[in-house]
Copies of this chain bind each other. A is one copy, B any other.
Amino acid sequence: MNDVKGGLRADAQANRDRILEVARETLTATSDASLNSIAKAAGVGPGTLYRHFPTREALVAGVYRKEIDALVALAPALVEAHPPLEAFRLWCDRLAHYGRMKHALADALHAAMTAGNLQEGYLPMVGAIDHLLRACEASGDFQPGANAEDILLLLGFLWRLPAGEVGEARGERLIELIIHGLG
């Protein structure tokens, strides 16, 4: 659905790209900007935006696609380059920091979780966490049996941190608490 190389006509593809670009800028500034205003800013009719992204979630997911992919790909890389527990910590830090539309992403992920349908971006995310968890279990840092979906749910607090203090002491304190709980 987010195929960049899909069979889209050239103009459609251009519109899609422009919409995503404008959406990123706009939603970063004001995470509850209206879809119509994004369409107008992108120079397309509302119907066009709606065709490409039938729902607000779909638009947010589209914007985040690359960052989510990067985050997912990062997990195995970290495990190879660092001791498992260190890898887990680093991944959590990255999760906490990337982007400023965190709230919108959190909602999208939550919707994907509660909807029960395995929406794009969610399953790989769980997979990434699972990868880290198993590494930490193998090294003996975590007790076996932890569920990746559970941990993603728990890590959701990262997006509810007051705006100013992302990555500050508070987030790290709570990540440490979760790690301690897993040990």
Contact = CB atoms under 8 A, between A and B. Distances in A.
Given A157-B153, A180-B180, A114 B162 contact: yes
Nearest to A114: B162
Interface in A129-183: 147, 150, 153-154, 156-157, 160-163, 170, 173-174, 177-183
Contacts of A182: 177, 181
Nearest to A155: B157
Nearest to A145: B173
A177 B162 contact: no
Contacts of A179: 181
Nearest to A107: B160
Nearest to A179: B181
A181 B182 CA distance: 7
Contacts of A180: 180-181, 183
Given A150-B170, A154-B154, A170-B150, A113 B160 contact: yes
B154 A174 contact: yes
A18 interface: no
Contacts of A174: 150, 153-154
A160 B103 CA distance: 14
Nearest to A149: B170
Contacts of A150: 170, 173-174, 177
Contacts of A177: 150, 154, 178, 181-182
Given A147-B173, A150-B170, 19 more contacts: A110-B160, A113-B162, A114-B160, A114-B162, A116-B162, A150-B173, A150-B174, A150-B177, A153-B157, A153-B160, A154-B154, A154-B174, A154-B177, A156-B156, A157-B157, A177-B181, A177-B182, A180-B183, A181-B182
